Amino acid sequence: MSTAALVSLALLGALVGFVVPRLARRFTATPVGPRRRRDGNLGTEALRRDRRDPRALLGPLLAAGVFAGLAVTQADDPALPVFLVVAAVGLVLARVDLVCLRLPDPLVLGAGLLALGGLTAAALLSGTPGRLAGALGGATVAGAAHVLLALLPGSRLGFGDVKLAAVLGLPLGWLGRDALLAGLLLPHVLHGGLVLGLLAARRVRRDTLLPLGPALLTGAWLAALLT
């Protein structure tokens, strides 16, 4: 991939990062009062506060890094646009899950439909139908594995996490068995390490609920980069 193309995709990721908070707010904000009900958002004052907060730049920088990483490692893959679209929706899902511990079905379903449609088109255009079968198999394996985890006694795994894992199984299965295996294991290693660190620092208690969605998405992204 040329430097110009890589920079363009990184800038596109940064743009997505600027939009993510506003999209996520639609799924996390609870309107209170007549003005908010009419506007359907948090209002211009909240947006002004976001712009003044130096941390507001972290999102665009993170999104730029996500897009750049995929562009570098999957530059020759015909499904690169699909990976980028799933990553963009994933950034919104991660923010929503961090804020309110849920993964909205419209976002998860939308990511799944976009991934399935995009990978089908990529398989047909590149003449590699076997990779589409791998993607469908990946979704089945990832979904089934997380259903079993969710049904274990004492499990805190929600079915929103199960559905997201199945969706992420599509691009991971497209990339192959190694990527799928890494994408299944890495999220739980990351999440477990985070939980242990927070417990050691006494930032959470043993019964504190923590979102798994960001770990699922980060693990899938790392799997795509490393395999």
Q: Is the pLDDT of residue 36 over 50?
A: no
Residue-wise pLDDT tens digits, 105-146 = 999 999 999 999 999 999 999 999 999 999 999 999 999 999
Can you say whether the dihedral through the CA atoms of 220, 223, 177, 134 is positive or negative?
positive
Greater model confidence, 122 or 36: 122
3-class SS of residue 79? coil
Q: Is the pLDDT of residue 218 over 80?
A: yes
* Residue 132 to residues 27, 88, 210, 217, Cα–Cα distance (Å): 32, 21, 33, 21
Q: Is the pLDDT of residue 42 over 60?
A: no
d(CA 192, CA 104): 23
The pLDDT value recorded for residue 3 is 92
The pLDDT value recorded for residue 39 is 39
Instruction: Give residue 167's identity as a one-letter amino acid code.
Output: V
The pLDDT value recorded for residue 206 is 86
State the residue range of the domain holding 68: 3-226
Greater model confidence, 36 or 131: 131
d(CA 189, CA 141): 18
The model's pTM: 0.88
Percent of the chain residues past pLDDT 70, beyond the cut = 88
Average pLDDT, the chain: 89
Total domains in the chain come to 1
Q: Is residue 41 left, alpha or beta, with left meaning phi > 0 and alpha meaning psi from -120 to 50?
A: beta
The pLDDT value recorded for residue 155 is 87
Q: Is the pLDDT of residue 40 over 60?
A: no
The pLDDT value recorded for residue 56 is 75
Can you say whether the dihedral through the CA atoms of 200, 203, 207, 213 is positive or negative?
negative
